[in-house]
Chains A and B, each alone.
Chain A
Amino acid sequence: MKYPIITFSDCSELTRQRLEIRSGWEEAVKDKTLWVGEGKEFNAVRVQDAAAKARQLIPESRQGSDPDRIEGQAAVHLYEVLQDTPVVVLDDRGLWRWLSLAHFWDFIAWREEKPFASGNHLKYLDCNNSSEAVLPRMYRRVAALGGAEHVHLAYAIPKGTDFWRSHVLRIKTATTPAMTRALVRFQAEHQLKTEEIRELAKRLRRVWANAVLEIYDDNEAAGLIAEQAEDLIEKSNASQ
């Protein structure tokens, strides 16, 4: 596939330009875009649509909004346009930089408003870390759930920033859709508190160390999570 990329150094320079100068930025992005690969061309028009849908999700006011849930909804649009893109292309960080700078800047700047204000914005745009940078982490959220059939789970957890980052995307759970689905369903139903979900994650890590959970189906994954959470729930119920 022939697809657009932006290099790491150009990303850093363009980001600075966007924050400091603003004018002529779109042209600068076009100038720095390189097309690599061969064959069928990457469908940039569909990406534009997904970016427009993501922008429409941005609320007028942050008050009372749930940015992570909105990220989950936007992730579905992003995943829809990228799901047939070859892995060899998705594995290229340059593509994610191009998507971030050429189409999703507004959404990313809204989602990471605080780091943008403090100048700590590059890691959300340079796409070197797929659990931190906004677009790869959005794509990976839906991919971790197993794709299109399960998209509703991408926004099933209220205020789920820490849940997705610490308990799914950065750890092994994200590699196994049955485990991710089971954990999301469990948390959506039981709403474990921060300390409880951390304890559950710790217990699951111990099981992962000795078992190949990639072979579990949905029922087995749900059973394992229920088993590990049993006394956590008992304690939680007793305290209520």
Chain B
Amino acid sequence: MSQESRIVRPFNVDPELERIFETTRLRFGDLECESGSRIMVEDSSTYTLRKAELIWAGEHQNFMAFKRELANGAARSGLDHKLLSIVVTAYTVYLKMTDVIYNQPLTDLDALPQVVELTGHQTPRALQASSSGAEVNVYLVLTEELLEKPLCPWRKGTWLTRTRFRIRTTQELTLFRPIPLTDEIRRELHLPAKTTRYLHMGDYIPTEPDGDSVEPVFYVDEDLLSELAARANSPVGIMLQSQLVVDFVTAVVAASVSDHGPTRSTYEEIRGSLLGRVINFVAPQAQEFERNKLLEMVHDEPARFVAHLEDVVDVRKTMLESLRDEQR
């Protein structure tokens, strides 16, 4: 199932055309994902060697229907399909670089191949960022300026429909992003009034590789979070941040243990899951067997795993520095 969110557009687009990219898939080396979802690349050394391809529709006959629908859907939206183009961009977040990596006008629909190679003989810059990963966006775009008409697309570049793929890497710095915990959310989640931190798992399974379910949300009290943002680099700010990492991981470990039941997994089986990312965070340079040992520790001695994490984050140092700073 697609996770693509939709925004309200200031004009009408035929609903079938709006869904045209739902069957599109992104292939990145040996990994593949569907419209609106993401790929996790574990081995950064292979990142720039991977071929990126887009696959329109599934079977060949579906691809024929896909092309017909591009033309018919455009007509039902009041546009000649020859005014449209499929534009694909790649964006990488740290360097904030976007490359237009494919631009196929629909003037000649026969020229559209079912599989589009995005890397070609030279990999686009945005697809070389192996630390930050990338976002691949696919748009159906109006390529000419038309006369302005209410509720009709007219500006050159206006997209009629789009989809997005994310290529994530284990080197991404963010293990989690805290979300402000407000009184309203406390009420909604039936939390006590003075709760400061809460990992809301919803129906997310921490040992399942990225699937369709919504990621868990790590809530932190809104006042605490804004104070923390204002003093992020102070000793107490650094100490609180390291403590939040420990709190988050402890909650993930607890959820993994309660979820796990009688069966055991290997690291390979949970690679790409939230728990897999946590293990990678604790031991980024570790060999496979070391990661398996850590995974066993999560199951058998979760408290010891958290103790390992404390060592990695160096909670002791941040606490001491915070206390010493108080005495100055």
Residues of chain A at the chain B interface (Cβ within 8 Å): 9, 12, 86-88, 90-93, 119-123, 128, 130-131, 136, 140, 143-144, 169, 174-176, 207, 209-216, 220
Chain A residues near B233 (CB-CB < 8 A): 119-123
For residue B10, which residue of chain A has the nearest CB?
Answer: A210
Q: Secondary structure at chain A's binding surface: helix, strand, loop or mixed?
A: helix
Asked if residues B130 and A215 are in contact (CB atoms below 8 Å), the reply is: no
Count of A-B residue pairs with CB < 8 Å: 89
Asked if residues B129 and A87 are in contact (CB atoms below 8 Å), the reply is: yes
Complex Cα spacing A130 to B131, Å: 13
- Name the distance in Å between A77's Cβ and chain B's nearest Cβ: 19
Chain B residues near A144 (CB-CB < 8 A): 96
Complex Cα spacing A19 to B48, Å: 39
Q: A119-B233, A215-B103 are in contact. List 11 more A-B contacts (CB 8 A).
A: A9-B314, A88-B129, A91-B94, A92-B131, A93-B94, A93-B173, A128-B173, A175-B98, A210-B155, A212-B157, A215-B157
6 contacts between A and B (CB under 8 A): A87-B126, A87-B129, A91-B131, A93-B173, A130-B94, A215-B103
For residue B153, which residue of chain A has the nearest CB?
Answer: A210
B interface size (C-beta, 8 A): 37
Chain B residues near A175 (CB-CB < 8 A): 91, 96-98
- 1/0 per residue, CB under 8 A from A, across B90-124: the answer is 01101111101001000000000000000000000
Interface pairs A-B: 8 shortest CB-CB: A175-B98, A211-B157, A91-B129, A87-B128, A122-B233, A91-B131, A87-B125, A212-B157
With A87-B125, A91-B132 already in contact, the answer to whether A211 and B155 are too (CB < 8 A) is yes
With A214-B89, A214-B98, A215-B103 already in contact, the answer to whether A91 and B130 are too (CB < 8 A) is yes
Asked if residues A91 and B234 are in contact (CB atoms below 8 Å), the reply is: no
Asked if residues A88 and B128 are in contact (CB atoms below 8 Å), the reply is: yes
Chain A residues near B132 (CB-CB < 8 A): 91
